[in-house]
Structure 1
Amino acid sequence: MTSLPPLLPASAIPLDHPGRAFVTGRTPSFACRADQRFSYTLQIPSGYRDDGPPMPLLVLMHGTRRRTDAPLDHLTGFAEENGWAVLAPLFPAGIGDPDDLHNYKFIDYAGTRFDHVLFAILDDVAERWNIDVARFALHGFSGGGQFAHRFLFLHPSRLSAVSIGAPGRVTLPDPSVGWWRGVGDLPGRFGVDWAPELVARVPTQLVIGSDDDGSAELAIVESDGNGSTRHDRINALARALDDLGGKPFVDVVPGVAHEGLKVLPAVRAFLAGLPR
């Protein structure tokens, strides 16, 4: 296995050194050491310290358009008020297929395990910053919501909470149905066991705008068999998680269409209400 180049930890940069500005506040976009096709940016709040208890982390998974700056801007206040770091990975379009927009949402495609890419990014974060990456909160909207709930099914022990925003296609926690419509053959495909009791323990928010129908755009993609609108599909996922004993919180934001930035206040409220 090829060794990775070392990172300069934030703790090695004196507080009065100009370089400190690049590892606090809004960081530059860093390439992932393990696979430089992928990158990440963080929002590090002013309360960050190099020593003491590690800072909690929110991972913010982008949607199909790969926009990360605006959501980070909207969550800067949350980071400051609540003392969380916020990480925004970037999985560019066209990985493994120059025309592809969607494959990260399904975790595994053409030899790329997007969950493993996220783990590699988290390893980089842990080496540079005093941030808790062992268990973290995860929010994704639309395409990011697809990634988020599938990541929950594969790696529930890594999540302190998950917020799933308006996914266009959903995977149900049904081990009798193959991936991606169900969670059949996780050991063979992903090398992980299906652990419904762990999935049920993760605090889960399902969030969608009241006016987010999506039937026209969903009509042109492969159906997941769970209805023709985003509300149909998120409600099917909610019922299935409830059947596991998970008691997900369904948050319908009034007057909002398919607008990820406009559901972020509800996401912030969900995260701020978690036990500390």
Structure 2
Amino acid sequence: MRTTICRVLLACAWLALGNARAAETTPAAAPPPALEALRKEVNERNAALVQQGFNLTHGLRLQGRGGAPARISLVLPPSDEDHRLHLWLAVQGGEAQLTLRGPAGQAPLLSWAARQGETSLQRRLPPGRYELEFDAGASEGGFALLGVKGPALVLPQLDAARVQERAAAPERGFHWPYFLYLPQQIKSPHLLVVPNNSGFVSTELELLRAAAAGELNRQAALAEGLGVPLLVPMFPRPADPQADDLYLQALSRAALLATHPAWQRVDRQLLAMVDDARQRLAQQGQVLSARLLMSGFSASGSFVNRFAFLHPERVLALASGSPGGWPLAPQAALADGVALNYPVGVADLAALSGEAWRPAALKAVAAFIYMGDQDANDAVVHRDSFSAADERLIFARFGSTPLARWQLSQRLYAEQGLDARFVLYPGAAHSVTPQMQADIAAFFAERLAAAVSAAP
């Protein structure tokens, strides 16, 4: 079980959304042509690392003479696998110094200086906090890129003025904390919910908090642009030898069957968090709609896709990226009568959830389902997501790869009259590209405008 989980975290972690976003930030003044070329190169290198299976990538703009060193704080959870760290930098006029320090009391694990180049480190690293420092003060500035293979989190700096943390409140229906981000101006009465995906098995709250904080940091620009509050839960990813698919962060089959109070029905726990946040904001004079915007990628792309089937009346629009290799089919059986049970289809969804499936309500949910045409990440072959019987059925009837299944998925949604827009991005692997981010923002803005025009 442990080996399978580790393979999945390498493939499925959606922390790559942070990727080279720092390198994508537009400076106040246009950079010199040479810096613009470096900016393009860091994006190309980032895409190549994703293609090579690096589950976490992070880009940085390095300030030149007089600028402060750039830093990345990494947290490594316990793991029985080697980590591979790949580092690249390029600066103008001089050299940059890179230093990697491990947990307190250790000598630097790596010290390296270069004008342009790359280096790698592969070894089994103890759990703890690691600090990467890039000092480009002896140069004219440039860019750096970090890639990691293995379980790891980047610790972000949250804006305390904008972010609130709500503690677990079992008496209110949720056993795990959540973050609530408030934009500078709330323009729309809808809450954006982005489920967390730690990328590895853990129930340690500090690790879950770090993963959720990273997700919040990545989605804050979307929330600001739309003018909506943002909620990110801190659900765990427990290991359970009695339930191979207890993948709460993907809303797997076992997630709907879990009986442990802390694991039980995380979809309903999320609704309790949402209603808690709405009540808190109402007390501050901000009344929010019960209908949500939801966005997720990889495991959390599966979560938002499945959540909408369970609670369609609570979702206004969703963006589901690379949802586990197979978005939930909106039908109970194939034409020849073969049943499609959850999470392949909805044949037994009512029995699992205790509520009837409501296809009419689902037709009122707008969905943006997207994937790169080079995305080979397939949760179908992993037992923490789908059963062996599910895999055989999907391979035999729908295709052996996510790309092979894409058009059929699109057709099934269209046949049921669902408002689902399927978008395939040429050349993209298992990551969220800047173009995807822009399209998601435009999709949500369009749906919010439609909701305003439709309001009585």
TM-score of Structure 1 vs Structure 2, range by shorter chain: 0.7 to 0.9
Partner of 2:319 in structure 1? 163
- SS of equivalent residue, structure 2 residue 194: strand
Q: Distance in 2 between matches of 1:132 and 1:122?
A: 10
1:273 positional shift: 1.9
Greater shift in the superposed pair: 95-104 or 217-226: 95-104
1:220: Cα distance to partner?
4.1
Unaligned runs of 5+ in 1: 1-20
Q: Is 1:109 aligned to 2:257, yes or no? A: yes
* Contact 2:292–2:317, Cα closer than 8 Å, also in 1: yes
The 10-residue stretch of structure 1 (155-164 or 187-196) with the greater mean CA deviation from structure 2 = 187-196
2:423 to 216, 237, 251: 251
Higher relative contact order (CA 8 A, sep 6+): 1
Matched position secondary structure for 1:31? coil
Matched, 1:69 2:203: no
Question: What percent of counterpart residues are identical?
Answer: 27
Equivalent of residue 411 in structure 2, options 239, 242, 247: 239
2:356 to 176, 183, 193: 193
Query: In the alignment, what sits opposite 2:438?
Result: 265
Whether the 8 Å contact between 1:59 and 1:139 is mirrored in structure 2 is: yes
8 Å Cα contact 1:166-1:234 kept in structure 2: no
Q: Which residue of 2 aligns with 1:46?
A: 184
Distance 2:304 2:292 in 1: 12
1:172 equivalent in alignment to 2:329: yes
Cross-structure match for 1:125: 277
Shift of 1:126: 1.6
TM-score (norm. length: structure 1): 0.78
Q: Of the candidates 192, 205, 208, which is equivalent to residue 58 of structure 1?
A: 192
SS in 2 for 1:201: coil
**Conservation of the 8 A alpha-carbon contact between 1:64 and 1:143:** no
AA in 1 matched with 2:376: D
The structure where strand makes up a greater share of residues is 2
Give runs of aligned pairs for residues 8-27 of structure 1, distance below 5 A: 25-27=162-164
Which whole-Å CA distance do the structure 1 matches of 2:229 and 2:311 have between them?
21
Question: Which residue of structure 2 aligns with residue 93 of structure 1?
Answer: 237
Cα distance in 2 for residues equivalent to 1:260 and 1:97: 32
State the TM-score, normalizing by the size of structure 2.
Answer: 0.49
Contact kept? 1:94, 1:100, Cα under 8 Å: no
CA distance in structure 1 between the aligned counterparts of 2:167 and 2:411, rounded to whole angstroms: 39
Q: For the residues of structure 2 that align with 1:30 and 1:232, how far apart are their CA atoms?
A: 43
What is the CA distance between 1:251 and its match in structure 2? 2.0
Contact kept in structure 2, 1:27 and 1:43, CA below 8 Å: yes
Match of 1:84 in 2: 228
More off after superposition, 107-116 vs 38-47: 107-116
Shift of 1:100: 6.6
Alpha-carbon distance change, 175 to 101 in structure 1, aligned in 2, over 3 angstroms: closer
Q: Which amino acid aligns with 1:30?
A: A
Tell me how far 1:245 sits from its aligned partner. Answer: 0.8
1:85 Cα deviation after fit: 0.9
**How big is each residue's C-alpha offset from its partner over 1:202-225, in whole Å with a ceiling of 9 and x where there is no partner?**
11100112321225x654444260
Deviations 1:155-184 (A, max 9, x none): 111111111110124321122433232212
Work out whether residues 226 and 441 of structure 2, in 8 Å CA contact, stay in contact via their aligned partners in 1: no
* Partner SS for 1:172: coil
Q: Quote the Cα distance in structure 2 between the aligned partners of 1:179 and 1:220.
A: 15
CA distance in 1 between partners of 2:372 and 2:433 (Å) = 11
Change beyond 3 A, Cα 1:100–1:31: farther
Structure 1's 197 and 185: CA in aligned 2 closer, same or farther, altered over 3 A? same
Q: CA deviation at 1:31?
A: 2.4
1:236 and 1:42, CA in 2 relative to 1: closer, same or farther beyond 3 A?
farther
Is the 8 Å Cα contact of residues 212 and 257 (structure 1) preserved in structure 2?
yes
Inter-CA distance 163–28: structure 2 relative to 1 (3 Å threshold): same
Distance in 1 of aligned mates of 2:226 and 2:353: 35
Q: 1:197 and 1:232, CA in 2 relative to 1: closer, same or farther beyond 3 A? A: farther
The 8 Å contact of residues 240 and 246 in structure 2, kept in 1 or not, is answered as: no
Q: Are 1:31 and 2:172 counterparts?
A: no
Offset of 1:47 from its aligned partner?
A: 1.3
